Amino acid sequence: AQSVAQPEDQVNVAEGNPLTVKCTYSVSGNPYLFWYVQYPNRGLQFLLKYITGDNLVKGSYGFEAEFNKSQTSFHLKKPSALVSDSALYFCAVREAGAGSYQLTFGKGTKLSVIP
């Protein structure tokens, strides 16, 4: 069975400081990894993904994430946080090449950027 862990329920960071939101995963084969953001009472918006190739992937709004196969991690990062980045962030995994397209999410991390 595949799973995603987001060990922090909440992350607080001052505006202008770098931010990191952590994600580790478990999957039988190779992973496809995704980050999504959710604003209150809305659906999820896609930020970025790792499929193959370069371990550092860049996405929307200045976010990036680093895939680390040995640590089974896919942490989300941004060099300089904005107040508007405050939201709920979800990491997700799907097994590459599998016949099943089950998409599994973590519990989410609430990011608060303090002015």
Partner 1 sequence: DGGITQSPKYLFRKEGQNVTLSCEQNLNHDAMYWYRQDPGQGLRLIYYSQIVNDFQKGDIAEGYSVSREKKESFPLTVTSAQKNPTAFYLCASLPLAGGGGKEADFGHGTRLTVV
Which stretches of the chain bind partner 1, using CB under 8 A?
Answer: 6, 9, 32, 34, 36, 41-46, 49, 51-52, 90, 94, 96-97, 100-108
Q: Nearest CA to 89 among 22, 14, 26?
A: 22
Nearer to partner 1, 29 or 115 (CB): 29
Nearer to partner 1, 34 or 85 (CB): 34
Q: Nearest CA to 83 among 9, 14, 1?
A: 14
- List 5's β-bridge partners, or say none: 24
Give 91: exposed, middle or buried? Use CB within 10 Å, 0-12, 13-18, 19+.
Answer: buried
Minimal distance in Å, beta carbon 92 to partner 1? Answer: 8
Minimal distance in Å, beta carbon 44 to partner 1? Answer: 4
Minimal distance in Å, beta carbon 114 to partner 1? Answer: 22
Minimal distance in Å, beta carbon 39 to partner 1? Answer: 10
Nearer to partner 1, 85 or 90 (CB): 90
Q: What is the DSSP string of 31-91?
A: EEEEEEEE-TTS-EEEEEEE-SS-SEEE-GGG-EEEEETTTTEEEEEESS--GGG-EEEEE
Nearer to partner 1, 42 or 69 (CB): 42
